[in-house]
Amino acid sequence: MITLGEGNTPLLRAPRLSERFGVELWLKWEGANPTGSFKDRGMAVAVTRAVERGATGVVCASTGNTAASAAAYAARAGLHAVVFTSRGAVARGKVAQARAVGADVREIDGTFEDAHREARRLADEEGFVNVNSINPDRIEGQASAAREVVQQLGRVPDILALPYGGGGNTVAYAVGFGERLPRFVLGEADRREDTFASAIRIVEPVHRLEVGGVLKRSGGTLVTLSEDQLEEAWRLVAREEGVFCEPASAAGLAAVAASVTAAGQSVVCVLTGHGLKDPDATERLAA
């Protein structure tokens, strides 16, 4: 198993946010993973399988966290990592992480979707495995987070709140919960093409259809969030609970704040990545 010690992240009770929203609120702190995001859960499985299949390298497109994670697990496995990003659209800490562990970072003049196309093209070449969330090993690995939540809470929560970028994580949580789904409350950026929450700067979610299915099956809600709503939720997590996540990570909480939730319900907000990854955005938080 190629591992860096991913998973088993804290489920933190959030007393002040609970009181503010009249619910029993918990934060699943995925920034505590080895490279600082939830991607590590899926990458451990995907890279382990890539090695088993005799791959010489892994490739992905990324808004940053997938890149940092793929790069680290590839280094650990002795594989090459090639990551395609949209030029200028990735937080500085994430590029630094990927470069530090030896990844070949290729910035392209185009969108995340263009980068995704490049990654798929390279994966068709011999020896490279694509480790984007279209790889089912990624989904399988990330599903562990849902089982952890149930274990830590002692039951399935009433509501699971998540940021929605490409939708892979939503699909993974649904797989992990299995038959008994909590109500999924998803937060997406209204300005998908240029939101300051750069991790979810994705115009065409690759898992859109499956996400629609999860929302339907769980009686869930998709909330489209303004930049102000995203920023406000991010500030609340930091100031009220002392947890410093990256901007996109607070989209789940922002969606809960914007939707009607029955009093006393148990709500788990997944905080997907660490605040240290995005020093430029952080200037806004501190201002």
Burial class (CB in 10 A: 0-12, 13-18, 19+), 246: buried
Does residue 63 belong to the site contacting ligand F0G (CB under 6 A)?
Answer: yes
Question: Which of 7, 141, 163, 275 lies at the binding interface for ligand F0G (CB under 6 A)?
Answer: 163
Compute, in degrees rounded to 10, the torsion defined by CA atoms 274, 279, 285, 287. Answer: 160
Does residue 135 belong to the site contacting ligand F0G (CB under 6 A)?
Answer: no
Q: How far is the CB of 31 from ligand F0G (least distance, A)?
A: 8
How many Å apart are CA 162 and CA 185, to the nearest integer? 7
Does residue 275 belong to the site contacting ligand F0G (CB under 6 A)?
Answer: no
> Per DSSP, which regions of 229-277 are E strands?
266-271
Question: Which of 21, 29, 73, 164 lies at the binding interface for ligand F0G (CB under 6 A)?
Answer: 164
Alpha helices in 178-221 (DSSP H): 208-218
Does residue 167 belong to the site contacting ligand F0G (CB under 6 A)?
Answer: yes
Half-sphere exposure of 27 (CA within 13 A, CB side): 31
Question: Which of 46, 200, 243, 250 lies at the binding interface for ligand F0G (CB under 6 A)?
Answer: 200
Does residue 221 belong to the site contacting ligand F0G (CB under 6 A)?
Answer: no
**Could you tell me which residues are beta bridge partners of residue 1?**
none
Specify whether the CB–CB gap between 226 and 262 falls below 8 A: no
Helix (H) / strand (E) containing 189: strand 183-189
Distances (CA, A) of 71 to 39, 58, 122: 11, 8, 16
**Span from 60-68, 149-157, 231-239, 256-264 in contact with ligand F0G (CB under 6 A):** 60-68
Q: Which two tokens stand for residue 16?
A: 């002040």
Question: Which of 97, 135, 218, 272 lies at the binding interface for ligand F0G (CB under 6 A)?
Answer: 272
Question: Which of 59, 105, 149, 248 lies at the binding interface for ligand F0G (CB under 6 A)?
Answer: 248
The radius of gyration of the chain from alpha carbons, rounded to an integer in Å, stands at 18
Which residue, 89 or 156, has its beta carbon nearer to ligand F0G? 89
Does residue 169 belong to the site contacting ligand F0G (CB under 6 A)?
Answer: yes
Which residue, 46 or 199, has its beta carbon nearer to ligand F0G? 199
Q: Which residues bind ligand F0G (CB under 6 A)?
A: 37, 39, 62-66, 133, 163-170, 199-200, 202, 246, 248-249, 272-273
